[in-house]
Amino acid sequence: MFPLTRFLTPARQMLENKFPKLLFGLYKIILYNLFRALLTIRILKETNIADDDETLSNRTLVVAREAAKRGFPVKSFKFLGGGSTNFFSIKTKKRKMIFSSLPTEDITKISKIDFDDKYEFKRILQAANFPGAEGERFSKIKPALAYAKKLGFPLAVKPNNSSLSKHITCNIQNEADLKKAIRVAQIINPYFIVEKFIKGDTHRVTLIDHEMAGCCMREAPNVTGDGIHTMAELIEIKNRHPWRGEANQKNFTLHKIVADESAQVFLAKRGLTVETVLPKGTKAYLRDKIILKSGADIHDKTDEVHPDNLALFEKVSRLCDTPLVGLDFICQDISRPYHQQECAVLEANSLPYIDMHHYPVTGKPRNIAGLIVDYVLMRPLQ
């Protein structure tokens, strides 16, 4: 894979802390012109999308399938050698739109706020007096350690941008683990955030045109005992589900649980092995991180969202000033009002993985892709 955005990543990371708004605008303009130039000299080509294209993320494939049903096929721009660019087109009766990953904004559109910047988003939440996790951004370990002592454990550390949860460390209890977490975060970005760790379940709330389209909860890889099968056998049974692909398969949302060395060490610390027969109804986790590629589960919670929480999410969406946003919200109980429990809006994502709503392990699948296509057809960008 060779995403086009990698051309600009190093420069963006160096400048994002000092000139975030200017850099974000320049980044979009340069990216667009580079993209158009590559099209002109035919290094890029526009191709049809196959339903089982393993080079594309399921985030885009679910939209491509829905658009095709309505007679508006989505096409992919790829390098001559076949490498993906993560750019696509959709042609409606009114116009042809070129977009990145999801067709809610044209690539020429420059957002007023770079809310993918986790620290910038944190400041926006604070200014609006919305619930968030107290924290600060750093690029060096020493001041981060001093701040951590002041804030107090437990803590969480995350890269300022990107990650997909792989480089986030939660529930940090001491300075040694904090240093390790900072090194992990800096693999992705030299700037990282140290913030207060909030206990609870992690939810993804997707809003389209400032209305909630779906809410799902992510859960770390796990199996539930039946009193008969070993954990290894329970994992094998769970992995048979046709919705679960291998960890490297981009065209899957759910992935198979892998009982690798890391998982077995995690189990050993809890007095378990893959040969353990769990009592009926007993749930055991194989990791503490909620990463889909490691076999995490998704549970639909859309119908359980309390009206006060719904109102909060819609207000945050309007602050982001974009037609599509995915909010990460942590709380003890999504059916209780946010102001009656410890909770936090953690992040906002401009290109959320909407396919999570399509493939829940429990609950009702939500056709977010269909809502996005409807939005594009009904309210095309000018």
- pLDDT surpasses 60 at 353: yes
Between 33 and 224, the more confident residue is 224
Between 268 and 50, the more confident residue is 268
pLDDT given at position 37:
77
Range 27-36, long-range pairs (CB < 8 A, 24+ positions): 28/107, 28/108, 28/109, 28/110, 29/110, 31/4, 31/5, 31/107, 32/107, 32/108, 34/4, 34/7, 35/4, 35/77, 35/85, 35/87, 35/98, 35/107
Percentage of the chain modeled with pLDDT above 90: 68
Phi-psi label, residue 309: left if phi above 0, alpha if psi -120 to 50, beta otherwise: alpha
pLDDT given at position 33:
72
pLDDT given at position 6:
44
pLDDT given at position 342:
96
Instruction: Tell me what the mean pLDDT of segment 213-238 comes to.
Output: 98
Nearest to 130 by CA among 290, 353, 300, 318: 318
pLDDT tens, 2-32? Answer: 344 444 444 545 555 455 555 555 656 666 6
**Residue 381 pLDDT class (50, 70, 90 cuts):** very low
Instruction: Tell me what the mean pLDDT of segment 286-312 comes to.
Output: 96
Nearest to 133 by CA among 162, 168, 163, 164: 168
- pLDDT surpasses 80 at 125: yes
- pLDDT surpasses 90 at 312: yes
Instruction: Tell me what the mean pLDDT of segment 264-287 comes to.
Output: 97
Give phi and psi for 295, each to the nearest 5: 105, 15
Sign, CA torsion 133/157/177/298: positive
Percentage of the chain modeled with pLDDT above 70: 87
Instruction: Tell me what the mean pLDDT of segment 324-331 comes to.
Output: 96
pLDDT given at position 112:
67
Q: Is the entire prediction scored with pTM above 0.85?
A: yes
pLDDT tens, 73-92? Answer: 999 988 876 777 888 989 88
pLDDT given at position 51:
85
Can you tell me the distance from the alpha carbon of 103 to that of 324, in angstroms, rounded to the nearest whole number?
9
- pLDDT surpasses 90 at 176: yes
pLDDT given at position 8:
46
Can you tell me the distance from the alpha carbon of 172 to that of 151, in angstroms, rounded to the nearest whole number?
12
Count of beta carbons in the 10 Å neighbourhood of residue 32:
16
CA angle 96, 97, 101 (to 5 degrees): 145
Q: Which domains does the chain have, with CATH numbers?
A: 4-100 (no CATH), 134-197 (3.30.1490.20), 225-285 (no CATH)
Nearest to 88 by CA among 125, 46, 36: 46
Tokens standing for residue 222: 């796990």
DSSP line for 39-59: HHTTSEEEEEPPTT-TTS-HH
Can you tell me the distance from the alpha carbon of 265 to that of 127, in angstroms, rounded to the nearest whole number?
43
Judged by DSSP in three states, 109 sits in coil
- Residue 246 burial class via C-beta count within 10 angstroms: exposed 0-12, middle 13-18, buried 19 and up: exposed
- Is residue 247 a contact partner of residue 258, using CB atoms and an 8 Å limit? yes
pLDDT given at position 239:
98
Q: What is the chain's mean pLDDT, rounded?
A: 88
Beta bridge partners of 78: 45, 84
- pLDDT surpasses 90 at 161: no
pLDDT given at position 91:
87
Helix (H) or strand (E) run with residue 98 in it: strand 96-100
- pLDDT surpasses 90 at 165: no
